[in-house]
Each structure stands twice: as C-alpha cells, then as structure tokens.
Structure 1
C-alpha cells in the first residue's frame, strides 16, 4: 500500500462530507483503492473505530471490511514504534496529551508507514514548532514520513464521485 489512513479520516468522512447515507460512492472508492493496493489502514486503527457499545454505520463497516486493516505488529514497525515512544518521552510534550497519543493507534500508524514506505493520511493539522501537543503531522515530519489530508489523497488518486 502507498497510503495509510488515520482513524479521523474515516470518522470525518462518515460524520460530515461523505456520509454513508448520501455518498456511498466514497466508501465504494475506498474498496476499489484497497483492491488496487493504493490504500489501507492498520489493525490498531480498526480497533479504535470498533470500540464502544454503539453499533453505528462506521463500526459495522469496519467489521465487514477487516481486510482493509493490515497487521501492525511486525518487527520493523515495533522497532520504529519504540523510537517514536522514546522520542515522545524525551521531549517536552503535555504529559496527558503525550500519554494519550502513545496509548492510541497514531504512533503505530506512523511506525507502520515508515516501515513500509507509505504516506499517512490524516485530518490533523501540523502544529507550530515548540508545541506541547502531540500531533500526527509533527511526528510524521520528525520521522521523515509524508503526511497528507484526505482531500490531497483524493486529488492524487484522481477520485471522481459523479452521478450516472
């Protein structure tokens, strides 16, 4: 895969601009791009999206599309994850934010992207230097992992959602 999707790309799509009820073409596009090997996500993201008690559309979709979420427990990814955690622990980040970041899927996503040469796709905005808040684009930049938004991805892959 060339692009790994962050949990927030699925959540934002479902809740806002590509709702499953009015834009099923987006979700079909995800299926098609997964089949071509262009996009995927990781198991840690799937677990984040599936947790909770509410059976919403996204949770149901994730359960029926498990193949879209690849393993993130390989040795190379784990080694890079350790480097990311070490970096976070030795820099002056907000402790609560840092610890929440470490416990989530984001460091795994960045580590898997670096290990596989993929680009991270996230809706998080990069923070200014010296920020105390951990953000995906900042950590990607620190580790030499490209990071783009969903909208950039759609343009790169020439997505088209048109009615017949």
Structure 2
C-alpha cells in the first residue's frame, strides 16, 4: 500500500455513497474508514468539493464539516493549481464538442479544480463519472482527465487499490 498515489475525491464519491450504497445508517464504518485513510495521507479532496457538500445541510454535510474538513486543500491558494485550472478551462471553452451550457456548468463547479489539483500534485481523481467521447450536454471529468493525462478511477477501484475493508 505504500506505493499508492494520493486519491483526490470528487463530490459525487461522497454524495452517492451517503445517499445510496454506504448510507450512514447502513454502513457507518465506511465513513470512519474514509477518515482513517485521509489521516494516513492516502485520500483528500479540495475546498470546492467541500462547498458543494456542505451547502446541503444534511448528515453528509455535518459529517464532512466535523470529520473531513482537515483533508480539504485550498486549491486557489496554490498558484500551480490555478495555472492548471486555467489550461483546463481554456481547453473546455474551445472544445466544440460540448454545448455552451455544459461549459458554463463545468466552469462554475468543482470538477475542473479537482482535475487541476490532481494534475499538479500527481494524484488520482476518484469519480463516478464515465468517459464519453460523444457527450455534448456535460463535460465529464474523465474526458478532461484523458486530455490532460490525469489518472482517474471510481470509488470501488480506489478501495481495492488501498485494500480497504468495510467492517
């Protein structure tokens, strides 16, 4: 496990787990495990993801505020991340594949910042989004990751790579 990269988590990793397969009332140990791996330095996220999560004022937001806030990095304070983010936004905005609304949504959310952080810090992005070479209505994280040679996986592959065991 010591050769594993750092995994930077997209908001959908937290949100889908909380609302579906690892709900707090069904699998509370999942959330303890996430925190434990973050404490060990294997998992992190960024401030923009935190903002997306805590605006909901639900159980996930409370857990995130109280248990995971220390593992969020301030992406805008890192000049290299800001530079990478600008490159990403420039590519997205000039890409004729995506509709203008998709480009605006991407630019206003955390996804570009997650990718930029991973790009600069050699992390692996963890997301449930899938690569789609023909999509127009959304800018998927994997499409951008492929363009910028950033690795990405889903939650379950991350858990396997980190040898996480749920309860």
Q: TM-score range by the shorter chain?
A: over 0.9
CA distance, structure 2, for counterparts of residue 87 and residue 131 of structure 1:
16
Q: By how many angstroms is 1:24 displaced?
A: 1.0
Q: 1:63 aligns with which of 44, 62, 65?
A: 65
Aligned to 1:28: 32
Does residue 125 (structure 1) correspond to residue 127 (structure 2)? The answer is no
CA distance, structure 1, for counterparts of residue 157 and residue 122 of structure 2:
18
Specify the SS of the correspondent of 1:120.
strand
Aligned to 1:100: 105
Q: By how many angstroms is 1:69 displaced?
A: 1.0
Q: TM-score, normalization: structure 2? A: 0.92
- What's the RMSD between the two structures over aligned residues? 1.1
CA distance, structure 2, for counterparts of residue 30 and residue 98 of structure 1:
31
Q: By how many angstroms is 1:70 displaced?
A: 1.3
Deviations 1:6-57 (A, max 9, x none): 00000000001101111111101111100110000000100011114xx310
CA distance, structure 1, for counterparts of residue 93 and residue 161 of structure 2:
35
Q: By how many angstroms is 1:114 displaced?
A: 0.3
Q: By how many angstroms is 1:131 displaced?
A: 3.1
Q: TM-score, normalization: structure 1? A: 0.93
